Amino acid sequence: MGQRRSPLGVVDLERVAARGWPGLESGSLGDWLLRAGGGFTGRANSALVVGDPRTALPAAVDAVARWYDDRGLRPCAQLPGRQSRGADEAFAAAGWERDIDTLVLSAPLSVPPAPEVPVDLSPTPDDAWLAGYRYRGAELPAMAREVLTRGEDVTFAAVRLDPAPAPLAAVARGAVAGGWLGVTAVTVHEQHRRRGLGTALMAALLAWGAGRGATSVYLQVVSDNAPALALYRRAGFIEHHRYHYRRRPG
């Protein structure tokens, strides 16, 4: 992949990413997007703070809190790039706690050679795929399948090295929206790491995304995941922007 920068700005790319991983319910506060997904993942259960909330920032913070309180969820806001600094200060002033940065990496999409390891693609995740995906190291809750399949155009990649019922060796998810491929949920089983399976998953998803009309690719990596950052940078990804979450205490 080349090293040219994305033609989209922070706000537009975050809106594209929201289409690739939406919640089960959504609302709006001016330009801000409110998302609820039963508590599964920050992306599906946070207010995407981009644009103008059309009200004073302290009032916007209170409105976000009420929206999530009404749904029995801990209020959370996703704050991307420099454009959210004013809002970030308002959430901080209200005592909301800050998470570490997540890096959004991007690259122009080019199709690499077919992976040597067979990768299966499916429009829906089966039970083996769901068992293979570890969100923050934990098993998935009941609503995970519905959240994962909510994107506009999604596929689920899997690598099987041993016959069933042995677990899958690696899984990942791809979603195309607005000419962008989003790569998420990359999970390689511990005993199969450092064997090129992550690279194989990426190659299969890039080919799939190109076939769906995508010309660029993005992914998100927490800032303390050094091995993943090294892998993606070797593959030609560069940092597009960063975001972090703020959650109301308790």
- Distance (Å, rounded) from C-alpha 180 to C-alpha 13? 9
One domain for residues 29 and 88: yes
* Domain end among 86, 103, 120: 103
Residue 221 falls within a domain, yes or no? no
- Distance (Å, rounded) from C-alpha 165 to C-alpha 1? 37
pLDDT of residue 137: 66
One domain for residues 90 and 123: no
One domain for residues 91 and 129: no
One domain for residues 22 and 54: yes
Residue 237 falls within a domain, yes or no? no
The dihedrals phi and psi of 146, each to the nearest 5 degrees, come to -65, -40
**CATH number, position 148:** 3.40.630.30
pLDDT of residue 2: 41
HEC readout, the chain: CCCCCCCCCHHHHHHHHHHHCCCCEEEEECCEEEEECCCCCCHHHCEECCCCCCCCHHHHHHHHHHHHHCCCCCCEEEEECHHHHHHHHHHHHCCCEECCCEEEEEEECCCCCCCCCCCEEECCCCHHHHHHCCECCECCCCCHHHHHCCCCCEEEEEECCCCCCCCCCEEEEEEEECCEEEEEEEEECHHHCCCCHHHHHHHHHHHHHHHCCCCEEEEEEECCCHHHHHHHHHCCCEEEEEEEEEECCC
One domain for residues 128 and 33: no
One domain for residues 94 and 27: yes
pLDDT of residue 6: 52
Residue 5 falls within a domain, yes or no? no
One domain for residues 116 and 204: yes
pLDDT of residue 196: 85
Residue 97 falls within a domain, yes or no? yes
Residue 39 falls within a domain, yes or no? yes
One domain for residues 32 and 80: yes
As for how many domains the chain has, the answer is 2
Rounded to two decimals, what is the model's pTM? 0.92
One domain for residues 195 and 164: yes
One domain for residues 120 and 204: yes
Residue 199 falls within a domain, yes or no? yes
Residue 38 falls within a domain, yes or no? yes
- Distance (Å, rounded) from C-alpha 39 to C-alpha 23? 9
One domain for residues 19 and 59: yes
Residue 248 falls within a domain, yes or no? no
pLDDT of residue 3: 40
pLDDT of residue 102: 97
One domain for residues 122 and 98: no
Domain coverage including residue 148 = 110-214
* Domain end among 103, 123, 155: 103
Q: Per residue of the chain (250 residues), give pLDDT as tens.
A: 444 445 789 999 999 999 999 999 999 999 999 999 999 999 999 999 999 999 999 999 999 999 999 999 999 999 999 999 999 999 999 999 999 999 999 999 999 888 889 999 999 999 999 999 988 767 788 899 999 999 999 999 999 998 988 999 999 999 999 999 999 999 998 777 877 898 999 999 999 999 999 999 999 999 999 988 988 898 899 999 999 999 999 8
Closest by CA position to 158, among listed 123, 107, 108: 123
* Domain end among 56, 86, 103: 103
